[in-house]
Structure 1
């Protein structure tokens, strides 16, 4: 039974708390949050105790920490948890600064503790099945990966202003997926972006609509399209074209029922947002982490995966600013 301390009891923290409490081989031992009332509510709901971060990390009853706090606290919490000898599952990104993120990953590696980064989309049943079939050679070698990821509406401006930008906050999931599916590391990034949804996002120095193209050394390509607005719901689709065919994973809907009348065909709308769309993926992510830690195996996605996705996000930001492709070989980032 892996005993967790949950650090962060906000929206995503509450989801993780419920998943830990429901897991047959995990237990929620302690909850810490900068807002005591939030920690108390989550702890009471799942039979845990509240604690300060320091007390939770010092506790002999805690085996692992799940970090679901604000991004600016991730790196120092990883380092503190590593020093305490705790296994770590941290929400993305590790940090908005690549050098700071690299230092945190190195600290975990030096301490010999397990570190996994919460790229939960790898654990979505459809995406995982697509990956398994791709690895089994169902379509030969991948040549083009196309990823569409569009939110139903933009987040509050207060969030945009501290998010690190669309590439580091939103597209970082898709950059990780592109690496995972291409099977090779991208060597070149070309980004274009606009503020078409909300002019206030442009005023905050960010974009809300973006297209990024990645190229690997062998010439494999990935194209990612992101938007902060999709009038029809949470749009999450992947297509991989290969030498022997194509694999595609479509949006999920509440049911597969379709109504056909003289007016045409009608289906359920797509699921509304990430909590509905990726609820099962978050549970599968936790299960994979618990299983790996129990077996003494490195959990995935690793800290290095987190760094690689952040490097791509940084390169996309640089490409957007320069209006030109960016070579990963030309960049230094504290590695």
Structure 2
């Protein structure tokens, strides 16, 4: 039984804490949040201790591992704090909003031989696992192109935007990681365009964007196209297409039901898409946590590493540079 503390009692922290509490490999010891009422409410719901002090909780002798679901700009600090204390870590993306800090953290974590896993949950979605399995089995021959569509149903709260690090580091970073995961190679060139068409005033206030497109290419010529938007009025839009030399794979959106309706006014009528990532990736979050706990119990390598987090962040930084300069950026 692995004794776990969850840092963060916001929407991601709540998901992680509930999954820890429900996992037979783990015991949820405590939840931590600087907002005491949030920590207390979640702890009461899940029958564990509450705290406002992350450092003190990490240092506890009855905590073997921590799950970090705090704001992005706290990740590197908390990962290092836990690793120095000899604790295993499952950390939400990114490593940090700053690439220099991320590089320093990755280097120290390697020196410490820390057991750290980056929480790129989409790799653990059952459908995406099947995509990777089919590619590895040679079902579509050599991968040539990956196309990723990723659109949220609406803008996040203003306070979230303020601390997110921007759409490239926050939202699209999942897509940069999935590009690496599906291409099987590192992109070496990035070209991006971004605009403010959903809420221009809010995006200008934080020097951010709400709509983007990215084109990437690997050294061997494989290509990836990513398009993201903070608002899709029809729901949470998550699609993948992988073109190979002998075929194609597609992963479409999930819906509450696959029933299609036909009548005099419409054909192929379907239920709306799932509302948000918390519904779309419920299984992925559970699988991700279980993979982390299983690796700890069996002493096997973590499925995703701080280096994976660093590489996704490097692609995000290259995309931002491309938007600013109007040129493709070598990685």
Pair in the same fold by TM > 0.5: yes
Q: Is 1:138 aligned to 2:139, yes or no? A: yes
What's the counterpart of residue 295 of structure 1?
Answer: 298
Distance in 1 separating the partners of 2:84 and 2:203: 41
Matched residues, number:
328
What's the counterpart of residue 216 of structure 1?
Answer: 218
What's the counterpart of residue 255 of structure 1?
Answer: 257
Q: Is 1:30 aligned to 2:33, yes or no? A: no
* Contact 2:71–2:164 (8 Å) recurs in 1: no
What's the counterpart of residue 332 of structure 1?
Answer: none
What's the counterpart of residue 70 of structure 1?
Answer: 71
> Where in structure 2 are the equivalents of 1:138-287 lying within 5 Å?
138-204=139-205, 205-263=207-265, 264-287=267-290
The CA deviation string for residues 244-299 of structure 1, in whole angstroms up to 9 with x for no partner, is: 00000000000111111122231111101111101111001001000011111121
Q: Is 1:98 aligned to 2:99, yes or no? A: yes
Distance in 1 separating the partners of 2:163 and 2:11: 17
Consecutive unaligned residues of structure 2, counting only runs of 5 or more, are none
Distance in 1 separating the partners of 2:203 and 2:32: 35
The CA deviation string for residues 166-223 of structure 1, in whole angstroms up to 9 with x for no partner, is: 1111100000000111111000000011111111144222211111001000000000
Consecutive unaligned residues of structure 1, counting only runs of 5 or more, are 329-335
Q: CA deviation at 1:14?
A: 0.8
* Contact 2:31–2:43 (8 Å) recurs in 1: yes
Distance in 2 separating the partners of 1:165 and 1:15: 23
Q: Is 1:20 aligned to 2:20, yes or no? A: yes
Distance in 2 separating the partners of 1:38 and 1:160: 20
Distance in 1 separating the partners of 2:308 and 2:148: 18
Q: CA deviation at 1:111?
A: 1.9
What's the counterpart of residue 333 of structure 1?
Answer: none
What secondary structure, in the 3-state scheme, does the structure 2 residue paired with 1:127 have? Answer: helix
